[in-house]
Chains A and B, each alone.
Chain A
Amino acid sequence: MSAVTKTNTGPALQLPEKTYLNSTYGIRSWLLTTDHKRIALLYLISVTFFFFIGGFFAMMIRLHLLTPSGYLLSADTYNRMFTMHGVTMIFFFLIPSIPAILGNFLIPLMIGAKDLAFPKINLLSWYIYIIGGSFTLYSMITGGLDTGWTFYTPLSTVYSNSAVAPAVVGVFITGFSSILTGLNFLVTVHTMRAPGMTWFRLPLFVWAHYATSVVMILGTPVIAITLGLAAMERVFGLGFFNPAMGGDPILFQHLFWFYSHPAVYIMILPAMGVISELIPTFARKKLFGYHFVAAASLAIAVIGFLVWTHHMFLTGQSTYSAVAFSFLTFLVAIPSAIKTFNWTATLFGGSISFDTPMLYAFGFLGLFLVGGLTGLFLGCLGIDMHVHDTYFVVAHFHYIMVGGAVMGYLGGLHFWWPKITGRMYPEWIARIAALVLFVGFNLTFFPQFVLGYLGMPRRYHVYPPEFQVYNVMSTAGASILAIGYLLPMVYLTWAAFYGKVAGNNPWPATGLEWTTQSPPLTENFEVTPVVTWEAYDFHNRPELGLDVPGHTGSPTVAPAHGDD
């Protein structure tokens, strides 16, 4: 038998004496830290906080929609709920979730660096995030926000009676947090790789974050200036987007979607990166078509910038332009398809286990498949003219962002929890939670596809009674989903303090982050590692202690590096 079982059950496992968690103490050592791992934990706490705020709004929306006439909230309150749900979830949960938590924690570990290139800027970006978040929370408390997360003008700049200015300023500020994170990642991947860590030995998680950073760098400034102009328009009466002054509200949409469409890739690319780690690890096999998956990430980042007006097919944009953008939209579907096929192909010939992270990976595959394919419906001009701005769109992007990004996020959190905390989460309850999430998610959002095709528009606080059946299903699903989100929050927190000690490499996995102790040292590695293996290569890594056919060496006497 292999050493794996031994390392997992051996009684001798103890947390290492010195880790990044206990190197210094006190609130100052956390709030002024420049350690990327501690900053990642700061993000984890704040992002989770915003997730539950956004989740609360979501619950109110679903409860309200149980009946056609909506007994729970007034029209204005309902409008505030869905707007604040969108703003919180997109700008304060989805965009920072995987990059700022897992990316921050793992990228230096994965490339064998001691920290990110600019540790102080990394801390600064967390503070900017908190300041932006505070502005937005302030707007929620003082009058709320009822413009929709898209802030369409002139509703947002002239007609809305809610606290638009602080919310817009909050999102504007948070944008800089995202820019600085992206900048830090790009520079880090370029200049901080350990010896031997060539570009094509990088884990795909790093590739995905590289692509994400490109989008953050190039897209976010545009939303910043756009929201800046919108705020100026509301406060000082600048007129770029106000038709009463000759401005053009469609221009706002162009600028808004130039960022906000690629922003979808900021949300989904890191999740794809997580899945590209999970599948090879739990199939114990190299990822099928590594180069293609890496290239697909970059292709998504680039082509993703060329499709933004598919959100505007029915605003009266030029017909020619609509046709061109529809064409490009179909092109951007291809790299995602390539990734999906490669993940599926990786399973062949694998040695597949069904640990919780892998269940999330399977869940991601299924939900991303539905979400991605329904994107084709919306990119198709002839269908979009019917389903645009209906619940079909709502269902589609929740499949991508919740089904895709959040599944990836939770999968990654489970997978690296032993690295982050040094302790294992309880396996069985975690598997149950993953299943609950999958079932609850589908019950919540699948009926919305049907609702959309039947013609129920988005953002309705009351609706014709013929739509009720599907709304009831959706609300029932949302209740299950809520439990599915609460469970991991509870047991992961518990496991961080009382879970079983995990050891350095419990799965085992091949990444550089698993060669150091769990939780890692503040400097990550005792000596700078030298990389001699390809990503996800289980065959030439005898120190993992696996039964590789053709290798007879016992793991305990294995050489330090691969013997090829």
Chain B
Amino acid sequence: MSEQEHIDHIVPPSTYITIIITLLCLTALTVAAAYVDLGIFNIVVALAIATLKATLVVLFFMHAKYSPKRTKLVIMAGIFWLLILLFMTLSDYASRVDYRGIRYPMSQNTHFIASPRA
């Protein structure tokens, strides 16, 4: 039964070994990248490498590559909703301008009034 094959697809250990070596190399790479100041790209590079690593884990260690479409749909839904949460909230912060014309986060003023708890 083809359905059965989908579920019980057996990934050979050689694949796992390739993946773990790749993952360790990527870890070394991201640590190395942290020693270089890339400005705004610090965060981009770090997250891109992390995403690549996570993708490898999901596809091979977690067998998503060999899973039924339904599983892939579930994974995509999870990522999609996470992005909704992050980006739609950030869209508010990124476009905030206060009455002095100052953009977030500089508009955040914690010295407004000292407010020790009563």
| A318 in contact with B95 (CB, 8 Å) | yes
A550 contacts the other chain (Cβ, under 8 Å)?
Answer: no
**How many B residues are at the interface, by size bracket?**
20 to 34
B2 contacts the other chain (Cβ, under 8 Å)?
Answer: no
- Chain B residues with CB under 8 A of A158: 117
B97 contacts the other chain (Cβ, under 8 Å)?
Answer: yes
| A244 in contact with B115 (CB, 8 Å) | yes
Q: Given the interface contacts A218-B77, A218-B81, does A254 sit within 8 Å of B92 by beta carbon? A: yes
- Chain B residues with CB under 8 A of A306: 84, 88
Residue-wise, chain B 99-118 has the 8 Å CB interface mask toward A (1 for contact) of: 00000100010100001111
Nearest residue (CB) in B for A246 is: B110
Q: Given the interface contacts A305-B81, A317-B96, A321-B95, does A254 sit within 8 Å of B110 by beta carbon? A: no
Nearest residue (CB) in A for B70 is: A190
Residue-wise, chain B 10-25 has the 8 Å CB interface mask toward A (1 for contact) of: 0000000000000000
Would you list 8 pairs from A and B whose C-beta atoms are within 8 A, ordered by A residue? A214-B77, A244-B117, A246-B110, A248-B108, A321-B92, A321-B95, A321-B96, A324-B91
- Chain A residues with CB under 8 A of B77: 214, 218
12 further A-B pairs in the complex, CB-CB below 8 A; given A222-B85, A254-B89, A255-B89: A158-B117, A190-B70, A243-B110, A243-B115, A244-B115, A258-B85, A305-B84, A306-B88, A309-B92, A317-B96, A318-B95, A318-B97
**B-binding residues in A (CB < 8 A):** 158-159, 190, 214, 218, 222, 243-244, 246, 248, 251, 254-255, 258, 305-306, 309, 316-321, 324
**A-binding residues in B (CB < 8 A):** 70, 77-78, 81, 84-85, 88-89, 91-98, 104, 108, 110, 115-118
- Chain A residues with CB under 8 A of B70: 190
Q: Given the interface contacts A222-B85, A305-B84, does A317 sit within 8 Å of B117 by beta carbon? A: no
Cα A305 to Cα B80 with chains together (Å): 11
Nearest residue (CB) in A for B105 is: A248
- Chain A residues with CB under 8 A of B81: 218, 305
Cα A159 to Cα B95 with chains together (Å): 30
- Chain A residues with CB under 8 A of B117: 158-159, 244
Cα A316 to Cα B70 with chains together (Å): 41
| A318 in contact with B96 (CB, 8 Å) | yes
- Chain B residues with CB under 8 A of A318: 91-97, 104
- Chain B residues with CB under 8 A of A317: 92, 96
Cα A181 to Cα B18 with chains together (Å): 39
B79 → chain A closest CB, angstroms: 11
| A321 in contact with B115 (CB, 8 Å) | no
Picked from B78, B84, B91, the residue with its CB within 8 Å of the CB of A321 is: B91
Most interface-central of B78, B85, B92, B116 (chain A CB within 10 A): B92
Q: Given the interface contacts A218-B81, A306-B88, does A244 sit within 8 Å of B116 by beta carbon? A: yes
B15 → chain A closest CB, angstroms: 28
Cα A484 to Cα B81 with chains together (Å): 41
Nearest residue (CB) in A for B98 is: A316
10 A-B pairs with least C-beta separation: A318-B95, A321-B92, A318-B96, A320-B95, A218-B81, A254-B89, A317-B92, A246-B110, A318-B92, A244-B115
Nearest residue (CB) in B for A259 is: B85
B103 → chain A closest CB, angstroms: 10
- Chain A residues with CB under 8 A of B91: 318, 320-321, 324
- Chain B residues with CB under 8 A of A222: 85
- Chain A residues with CB under 8 A of B84: 305-306
B1 → chain A closest CB, angstroms: 15
- Chain A residues with CB under 8 A of B88: 306, 309
- Chain A residues with CB under 8 A of B94: 318
Nearest residue (CB) in A for B92 is: A321
- Chain A residues with CB under 8 A of B108: 246, 248
- Chain B residues with CB under 8 A of A251: 89
- Chain A residues with CB under 8 A of B115: 243-244
Most interface-central of B84, B89, B115, B118 (chain A CB within 10 A): B89
B16 → chain A closest CB, angstroms: 28
- Chain A residues with CB under 8 A of B85: 222, 258
Most interface-central of B77, B81, B115, B117 (chain A CB within 10 A): B81
Cα A427 to Cα B77 with chains together (Å): 45
- Chain B residues with CB under 8 A of A243: 110, 115
Most interface-central of A251, A254, A318 (chain B CB within 10 A): A318
A315 → chain B closest CB, angstroms: 10
Cα A316 to Cα B96 with chains together (Å): 8
Nearest residue (CB) in A for B115 is: A244
